[in-house]
Amino acid sequence: MFGISFSELLLVGLVALLVLGPERLPGAARTAGLWVGRLKRSFNAIKNEVEREIGADEIRRQLHNEHILSLEQEARNILNPQQKNPGTFTPPVQEPPAAPSVEPAAVVTPTESVAATTAASEPTLPPRAP
């Protein structure tokens, strides 16, 4: 729990044996064990009460379900990349507008413009064969 190794426990035991002596060491170890047990029980009781009040179990279940659903969605996307899933929204890709093509302006004389407008309004006949 605290990351105490066996060598550290052995060192603490030797110091306790030297300080307390062999007569009082068993009673001190028993008392220390009782206090550690009481602390563990009280911490567990507090932890259980807090978890009960905030509903941690329900939150854990919801997070677990959401995680499973996201994994399932990823698996569907991997297996069927062309098929769009109805639950997901992908914005349409818009291409930038094409630049307008600029052609050099033709020089039109007034007589040509009148001829062009009259020719456009008259029906055109197919060419004659010789």
pTM, to two decimals = 0.37
Under 8 Å CB-to-CB from 17, ≥6 apart: which residues?
Answer: 25
DSSP letter string, 51-77: HHHHTHHHHHHHHHHHHHHHHHHHHHH
Name the nearest CA neighbour of 30 among 38, 19, 18, 40.
38
Cα–chain center distance at 94 = 26
Who wins on pLDDT, 128 or 115? 128
Tens-place pLDDT, residues 74-124? 888 888 877 655 555 565 556 666 656 655 555 555 555 555 555 555 556
Percent residues over pLDDT 70 in the chain: 62
Please give the C-alpha separations between residue 71 and each of 80, 83, 85, 129, in angstroms, as whole numbers.
14, 17, 14, 76
- Amino acid at residue number 91: P
Six token digits for residue 44: 């567990």
CB 13 within 8 A of CB 21: no
